[in-house]
Structure formats: C-alpha cells, structure tokens
Structure 1
Amino acid sequence: MTSPDLGAASTPSTPSRPRVVLGVSGGIAAYKACELLRRFTESGHDVTVVPTAAALEFVGAPTWAALSGKPVSTDVWSDVHEVPHVRLGQSADLVVVAPATADLLAKAAHGLADDLLTNTLLTARCPVVLAPAMHTEMWEHPATVANVATLRARGVLVIEPAEGRLTGADTGKGRLPEPAEIFAVATDLLARADAGAAVLDLTGRHVVVSAGGTREYLDPVRFLGNRSSGRQGYALARTAAARGAEVTLVAANVTLPDPAGVKVVRVETTEQMQAEVMAACQSADAVVMAAAPADFRPTSFADTKIKKTDDGSAPAIELEQTPDILAGLARDRPHPGLVVVGFAAETGDDSGTVMDHARAKLARKGCDLLVVNDVSGGQVFGADDNEAVVLGADGSTTHVARGSKGALAHVIWDRVTPLLPER
C-alpha cells in the first residue's frame, strides 16, 4: 500500500458542504451526540459518524445511519479497498469527538490506532475538537491531566467538561457540555480555519470575561439594575474557548446556557463581581469587562419589603456609587502583564458625542482597550447582533460593522492577542 502524504493538506470541500467526522466513544453521554449530529446535518454539513465499538453499546449503528444518511462502521476492515482508516481523516475539514472518554484521550495522546476512530485521529490534518465526558475522578487523574496537556500542545482543542449531574447520584466536573454549545465552538473553529485565521492562538492563556448586569437591592424583592442580557460577554467567553483559552466567566444575573469549556462563576451584586473578577485575574493574561455593573446602590437595605403608603407618597432613597471595577483593575493590576479591556455603553448629549464621552472614559479608566457601543434608544441590549468601535490606549481606532456578537468578540480578541506578554 502506498503511504499517504501526511504533510499534505486535506482536499478542500465546497463551502456549502464542509466535511465533518463525528467520533463517538463509549460513554453514557453518547446519546447526546445524536443532537450534535442533527445540528451539523441540519446546518448543511456532510457528516460521517465514526463510533467506537463501546459507543455502539449505548447508541446503535442504525440510529447513526438514519440521522447521518450514511452507513456506519467502527473497524478498518470494512470497504478496505477505499482505505477508510486514512481517507476519512485526510478528507475531513473538521473532526469532533463527543463524548471523548478517558480511554479515547489516552489513545489519542499516545498515538494508538486500534479502530477506525483512532486511525482517523492520526491521519486528520484539519482542526480536531475533543469534548471529554467522564467521572470527576477520571478527569482529575494525573494520567488524564497529562494526556490532555499533550493533546493541547499538539494543537487539539480539548473542551473543558461541564460541572453537574453525572451517572447515578454523582455530581461534579466531567459532564459533557450541551450539544448546542459544542456545535457553536466547533463551527466557530471551522469557520476560522476556512478563513485562514489563527485558530488556537489563545492556547495556554487564561482570560477572564464579565457578563450581564449587576443588581443592587433596595429590599428583599426590589433592586436597581439594567438591561444587559450578557450575550456579548458570553460570545466573548465562547470565542475565547474556541481559540484555545482557559476561560473564567463571571456572570451577573444571566439566564443563558453555559458556553462549552468555560468556567462560569455566578454573582448578583457589583461587590460580588469585583471580588470574583479580582480573584480570577490573579492568574489571568487578559480580562474583558463586558458586564454592565450598576453605577449606584442604596446606602441602606430594607430588611422587609418597602410598603406603599396610604397617602401615595414615595420613600426617599439615598444612593451611593458602587466600586469602579474597571478603573480599579487598570490601576491596581494583579501583575504588570495583565491586559485590561473595558466596555462603554454610551449615548450622546449636549456635552459631547458618543465618541467624545468614550475617549474621555478611556483616559479616565486607564484600560488598554475600550469597546464603545452607541446604546441610544436601547440599541444592543438583548440583540443578537452588535456594532462597535474599539479604541486603544495607543490612539488606535477599529470600527466594527454591524454583525453577530461572536464576530465582534473575535475582533476584540484579535486586538488583545498582540498586547499579551510573551511566554
């Protein structure tokens, strides 16, 4: 048999039908891969499912064949004349394995190839995404930790598992992220690879993102807040994870699903956000403050609900300023190399335009980059798209046309990466 040219690039596919290999290994979460497969096929991807023999104990071959519209095999002996053990990997635009068990991670890290899936992983020259799922003890075992580090060093995107209910009564880290979130990360990675962009340029970096709007309570049921949905912050976290970063997302009062591979820390108030962001930034390379912390809070909190009065009068509520998290971070950086990015939701007024206020805020806050949103009339909040101007402390200006919040997130990370200190 003639050896394939392992250095050759995979044959490009037509933009409308990217070729995806969906590997499924033998864990209870294999059933969730059915939804992932559906998302790929319904969005126009040409998907070949390659389950391991153990995976077929959980979901049978007829299910995979019906959902993908293709025959399914697990060994290298079927259709030998087509050399499937090398052709699948060579022709793929993307390989995703979900779930990836501890056994699969070990085989991939050590180059073992005893079935069709592990052979495919060895021959793939396209982006590879592994979504582990296993019990916490297995994920935290030194062997698994070493295997994951090896795979990441080779350019494989290994998504951090989620925390939650496992099999039986067990809970902890090791749960397969939701299929929709795996799909979002995988397709993001594929799109960047197709565009020729740097794919995993944040590998080995730890970034912190804040999202949502904080609440400052008046009494047990009322609070001061704002309209921030957290969508832009979640897009920043998701895209950073797709670029290989370790991501800590500090989320205030957000109801969105957790992005795959992201550690989510939930808070309510500005003080809580400040504490969690500062703690996470001790080991971070960059922090992006996309949240909308409340600017003011009541000076006192009523232990019981404030009642209406018979005469119709309203209580007088005295306010004080909350901590300025962004200015504090920029001024008192936990370490000199931390890149600090702020957001400015601005409206123009008699004293100046949106950009006038934004440039003044950049100088006042002392951050490295400031992402400026014009929120006149409530624009941006809760929407799926966004447009912005990214101002740099060096005087640079980057205009970002209206598009998805994910697209804006990538522009922000593109501006951040040159500022990161060398490792």
Structure 2
Amino acid sequence: MNKSLYRLDWISIILYLALVSFGLVNIYSTNFNENSSIFNFKIPVAKQFLFFMVSLFVGGVILIAKSKFFERFASILYLITILLLIGLFLFGKNISGATSWYSIGGIGIQPSEFAKVATALAVAKYLSEIQVNLKKLRSLLQVGLIIALPMVLIILQPDPGTALVFGAFFFVLFREGLNSIFLLLLFGLFFFFILTLVTPIPFVFASIITLLIALYFFSKKLNKKASLLPYLALIVVSCSYVYSVDYIFNNIFEQRHRDRFNIILGKEVDTQGIGYNINQSKIAIGSGGWEGKGFLQGTQTKGQFVPEQHTDYIFSTIGEEWGFYGSAAVIIVFCFLILRILYRAESLKNNFARIYGHGLAAILFLHFFINIGMSLGLVPTIGIPLPFISYGGSSLLGFSCLLFIFLNLDANRLSE
C-alpha cells in the first residue's frame, strides 16, 4: 500500500465528506416528494449521490497516483481541456441559452468545471519553473494567457459566471510575487467601475480631474521637477475607461444583466421581475430565524418559491430550515477548510504543490463568497454553485478532483 496514504490530511477529508453529506440532505429537501424514492435516479438527490460515488472512486484513484504525474502531465491536461471547450461550439448542447454541456448517454458533462482543475495545474507548473519572474512583462503575459484562454472560451458559451471564477488566479499571482501596483490598479478599476454605475458621468470626470490635478500640485511641492505630462495622460486614460464602462454597460450588456446590477446597487427595486429570485431567497433565509424551521419544514422551500434552489440558491434552503446556527456552521466549515488548505500549502517545500494549493483555496473562496453573497443579495446573480453542496454532477466531480489532487501532493511532501 502506498505509504503516502498514511500521511493523508484526514481533517480535510472529513470536512469534505461533511459538506457533501449536508449538500445531499439539502438537495433532498428542495425536491422532497412523499411519493418519490431516493433510489429513483431521475430525482436530483439520487443523481447527486451517484456522482458522489463516482467522485469518491476518482478521488481514490488520484490519491494512489504518483504525485509527479500531475506536474508532468499538467500541460497535456490543460490542452485536452481547451480542446473540449472548443468542441462545445460544434457538439455542445444548449441549455438555458448557454452551450456549456456535452450530452453523453443522457448525462450532461460541463467541461468548464474541469477547466478550473486543468488551469490550476497549468498555472502551478508554469509559476514553479525557475526562469519565471512575474516582475517581467514576458512572464506576466504568458501566465495571463494560460488563465485568459479558458476564460474567453467560457465567456463565448456564454457563461460569464463560471469565467469570473478564473479571476481567483490573480490572488495566486499576487502571492507569487506580482507587483503590488497591480493590486492597487485592480481596486482602482473596480472603484471607478462602481462609481460610474451609480454616479452621473460628468461628476465622475470632474472627480478624476480634480483628484489628479491635486496630486500633481502635491508632488510638485515634494519635487519641483515633477512633470505634468504623466498626470494629463492619467486623466485621459481614466476618463476613457469610465466612458468605456458606461458605454459597455448601456449598449453591450443585456437588459437582464443591467437590471441585476441596478438592483444590487439600489438604483431599482423589482421584487416580482428580475429581482424575484434574490427577494425570495432573502425571505427564505430571514424566515429561518436562529434555529430554523427544521428539516423538510421550510415553507419557502416546499412551496418552491425560490427558483434554482437546489443549485444556485441552495444556501437559502440552509438558512430557512437550519437557521442562523446551521448557516453559520456551514460558513465556519468552509472557512476552516480553506484556511487549512492555505496552512498546508504554505508548509510545502515543493513550489508546484504550494502554488496549486493556493489556486485551490482561491477558487473555493471565490465560489463560496459569490454564491452566499448572491443568496443574500450582496452580489448579482451570476449562477455559480456552492462547492460540494449545490446540485451538479460536473461541479461535484470537478471540486473533488481539485481537492484530492492537493491531498495527494500534500501527502507526498516527504518524498519531495
């Protein structure tokens, strides 16, 4: 028997099993029917249980594999995933307006879920190479291309929610030496993006010009040779960015996407139209109180008032039936799992394994943050699952592969 199996992080495995089991319980609740049997594989909970068994089998295979396999074949796995994403445009099945699935024997397979695994491996392999330096433009462009390629293919499906998750790799790049100026730039872009959506454009332009002119005079006091030209260039670039955001939002975004952003930003109130899902989700969570209504006792859940409750909005079921205590327990378990992955990753001497661990933690955190924020009405509805809990075979298998690969790399730390 592989000696590394004795060094497995059993705490992470227990947390994984707890989350998946709790997910099955809540999926069962959202589709409960007294006349249905849990052995009827046409109902969601039975399908999810079947994929759980497949995930455990695949996870077992991953755990007994040689740890060097994942680093050695990372590029090949990435290439295969890219080809699968391209193949969707020829052979994919259109569901709800997105061509994101292959239909194989009546089972839908979503390659974008496995693209996260392949991209995490590819990014880890590239960044672990000796000659890579993120302070050099060439290295930054190359790793940026590795991340951007699957993102673009997924956006074209179109599935912008899943594509957004690839932004998690930015945190990996920052941890591996990306200049902090890029972080400031990112926050600046985000700030002006929001400001543009909630404030009249002339006011935004005036704010930018005033701020940069003030900065120029301040720098002039510190250095009399300070040039005005860079500040004028920044004014032009910043105002162009603001105008582009305004134009794209009002002319390229679909109306439903604009409505969702406006509701989140408090510019519109629509509890029966585009804001119905969010409103019903908040009602369900709020009605649970401290202790919840009890298993199978959720009136919002049983009445199916919340659409997609077993997938995107499963946290509303948790809030209604298990209350604040149950919701807090789920959040604590997730946070503990993510922090444990980061702790184990930081203790690894192998660069590939460490970077992969950071990628895993970042992906889990972004999914966790967006999904729960979506259920609480804090972020727009973009349709991404709660890891290990939401219904979805490809999602469960993809996240399981992500975790079990790290468990393999972590268990083999002594053979590095």
TM-score (norm 1): 0.25
Q: Which has the higher helix share?
A: 2
Q: Which has the higher strand share?
A: 1
Task: With a CA cutoff of 8 Å and minimum separation of 6, indicate the structure with the bigger relative contact order.
Answer: 2
